[in-house]
Amino acid sequence: MTRAFRLQVVLDVAQRRLDASTRELQRLRDQWTEAQGKLDQLGAYRTEYSAHLQARLAVGLSSHQLNDYRVFMGKLAQAIEAQGEELARRRLAWEEEHTRWLRLRQRHEALLVLAQRHRITEAADEARREQKQQNEFALRRVAKPPDAR
């Protein structure tokens, strides 16, 4: 009879932790990608409004309108800076979780190796037991005297 892998509970916990970390890593990657998209969108707005300002300057613009454009472009620059900081925070959170995920995966793989070694050892032990039983059976058949009829 084969023995159970004594670290099976630890292996199961390691698998659950790795699965949870994988999901968290994907969630953080999605947030990072979303933050990058917002930064790209803000950059596109800045390019669009800058071009629009240049076109308006070519045909003439009142000082009040020019001031409004400058205020708006300043706020847009602040939004871009804030989004850049948010992007950096999201990237850092992903990198930290990725490091954690790597550690969890390494531990899980080590436990899988131990489980595989256990299965191999148990299979070899079972094969030896079966061979021993067959040898004993064969010896009993040879040792029995033939039926006298």
Minimal CA–CA distance to 112: which of 14, 1, 23, 19?
14
| CA 51, chain centre distance (Å) | 42
Alpha helices (H) in the chain, listed in sequence order: 8-59, 63-143
Q: Could you tell me if residue 148 is inside a domain?
A: no
Q: What is the pLDDT of residues 119-140, one digit of tens each?
A: 999 999 899 999 998 888 888 8
* Residue 120 structural domain: 8-143
The predicted model scores a pTM of 0.74
Cβ-based neighbours of 108, under 8 Å, separated by 6 or more: 11, 14, 15, 17, 18
**Residue 14 burial (CB count, 10 A):** 19
How many domains does the chain fold into?
1
What does the mean pLDDT of the chain come to?
92
Q: Could you tell me if residue 149 is inside a domain?
A: no
Q: Could you tell me if residue 30 is inside a domain?
A: yes
Q: For residue 33, what is the domain's CATH number?
A: 1.10.287.1700
